Chains A and B, each alone.
Chain A
């Protein structure tokens, strides 16, 4: 892509471990774009439908639909794939023990691991691409126009390979990723829109699978990250796993049933564990009451005090990174003006207490910021950054984000030690130039091993890539002078260029990433063909418009059976019938916009009818029905966003 699109909307995407969201800037405020089901959160779950579509490949579903398949056909569903992004086979062994990832059995050393989903195999970026494609479609449905550019958020502590894998996923989904933004920084942007212009803030982000802490200095619209730290494998999932392990052990010990071999039952139990965890954020005690396959019941109470002791080691793991981030920023907890809490796990009271202790908040009469929904704030911030990148917006024209690289970049030196060339917490883009020479007469290539991490030995750091500098003119040992420029770009991804200075020849660099897909592989994994992008888009809009029309038409068909129907005037009844027949007629045509307009007209015509039905439901609640039953009449009860549906046991 030589030239970028100059027009079109840029959306902000939070590609989360548990849930994903897409948001955009509506006027001067960011807003989350809901899916067809009206929900802002798209669960990061991907399932392969059992029925094959005409194309030969089975259909892939994403989100709530996919999540429902988790208990029925767990072998065709994958979740928490973010834990596998950009990681090698040797690095994911610990994940495999805790998560039901099924690896393909033909993975060769150095290859990107592939996960089995039913009869097919996918790399983690491909799975993420399906989630991104769903978000892209939600946005396109919302705007009624194609969306091709996005900002995607990543944990601040993601390394080079994890970032590259996320970018690859965007490309596979048909999105030009204009920028990867760190999640805590995005949250700061969302909060910074209407906040104090000067100050130092800490963002504590404990999500489903990752933990980040970032310290930023705000000054006249410039958000300058001072330091960041974290753990890419620490989050709510770890708490779920603790509860799950206890339940599994107790069921085994008390009832003689080992559920570990039953993926469906483990999933059901995991849901119960998550429900228990969530309820303990507001209740003093949570109850497990589960019917086991042998008809026994597993009943257990978990008091909050017990829960807090249980999760203390997990929470304590966030303290070290916080202290390190403060030290790296060269400040004390007292110098933090504000603390922002991000991620669903920060709803846990014990987490809030820990944050309070770490930053001496109560002692200073301060409270952490929780006004923005912790599940949405990262996506909202991504939308702000998208607006900054799109340019020409009054709201964000004064804003600029200066982020840092979370990990030091080094090269392996003689003896396996690491020579650090770019320190962690350097503002990005950042660069370093190093000079290399040959050790043997006539030597024409030099190998450079680049690593990321803070340890002294290269073997203890994360291998990033091996560069082979080739085509060095043959000279006496030590005479060539090869200048290698390492540059970390604004996405936190490394780029390398090299030049032999004595001969002026540009040395050819062959890069072998230690983990990750090649350009060609990514190209071959692109989900949709772009040749017919416009045509496909029109088709999809039409299908969606028809589906929406069908939904409302079915509701209108049932209307005369409702007591509320009789309360309508005959004029109103005729108007509804007319709008309904008109929509039926237009639906058969090919004009998506006309179908939408007719759907809207029918929706308008039925408005009073809908109100009458609501009134009936409310009055029945007042006249003795329980609130719970009234809630059911009204549809979804209003609840806090919930990463998992209520536990269902059969």
Chain B
């Protein structure tokens, strides 16, 4: 069931006009479906903001809420009810999709807390993309040398492929590099999880510091995973 948070405000039911709490999905008086309350994805599940989530509980809650609000339950209801069910379920699905994925959840909560996260896509013609854009190709300082060498190897590999040549040594080197960068990525994830704990348990000043660290980690992670994708593609081609 949806928990009632302190921020809940009374609203009138669209159908019977009786007032009820805005985080109630069904009017306690006439049982008709209600529009979802404004708020973030955590509120959809009655959760406090936090980076650590019990995924099994989240799934149970997602399934339970789906059973109640899904359009399949309103196929023969009035147009208003069908539209509310569609909107409520879209929000529920969007929220679940975002919260169940560790990376999406982290980015989402960081943004909610006012952090600026570099957009994956540079050319997007929208306000959101224009502000706070970072250059996604910026190499983390400590990796400059290794990335330079890896890029050389990737280029060589592509050339060799084009000429139809096999270079077992190069292949082995690349696989070596792949392993190394996978290790770096795993380290970033470990650091992120540590920061989750710090943020979830900390006060405002601790959270500020953790947020800053996480934004940097996310940037580093994005860089590493793009690089790894290149390596995997080149090796697999």
Contacts and interface: CB of A to CB of B under 8 A. Distances in A.
B76 A6 contact: yes
Contacts of B93: 426-430
Given A391-B73, A413-B125, A414-B123, A430 B66 contact: no
Interface string A401-445: 110000000000111010110000011111110111100000000
Interface string B36-62: 000000000000000000000000000
Contacts of A481: 127
B66 A400 contact: yes
A617 interface: no
Given A3-B79, A4-B75, A415 B126 contact: no
Interface of A: 2-6, 10, 149, 178-179, 219-220, 222, 224, 385, 388-391, 400-402, 413-415, 417, 419-420, 426-432, 434-437, 478, 481, 487, 489-490
Given A222-B66, A489-B71, A391 B125 contact: no
12 contacts: A2-B78, A2-B79, A3-B78, A149-B76, A178-B76, A179-B75, A401-B72, A417-B121, A417-B123, A429-B93, A435-B127, A489-B71
Interface of B: 63, 66-67, 70-73, 75-79, 82, 86-87, 89-91, 93-94, 96-97, 121, 123-129
A404 to B, nearest CB: 10
Contacts of A435: 126-128
A431 B128 contact: no
A415 B125 CA distance: 10
B236 to A, nearest CB: 12
Given A417-B121, A430-B97, A431-B90, 12 more contacts: A222-B63, A222-B67, A389-B75, A400-B70, A413-B124, A414-B124, A427-B93, A429-B90, A435-B126, A437-B126, A478-B127, A490-B71
Contacts, number: 100
Contacts of A487: 86-87, 90
A400 B70 CA distance: 8
B102 to A, nearest CB: 12
B72 A389 contact: yes
B90 A415 contact: no
A401 B63 CA distance: 10
A219 B67 CA distance: 12
Nearest first, the 7 closest Cβ-Cβ pairs linking A and B are A389-B75, A429-B90, A431-B90, A419-B124, A490-B71, A427-B93, A4-B76
A430 B75 contact: no
B79 A431 contact: no
A420 B119 CA distance: 12
A434 B76 contact: no
Contacts of B78: 2-4
Contacts of B86: 429, 487, 489-490
Contacts of A179: 71-72, 75
A5 B78 CA distance: 9
B132 to A, nearest CB: 14
A220 to B, nearest CB: 7
Contacts of B67: 222, 400
A391 B90 CA distance: 21
Nearest to A221: B67
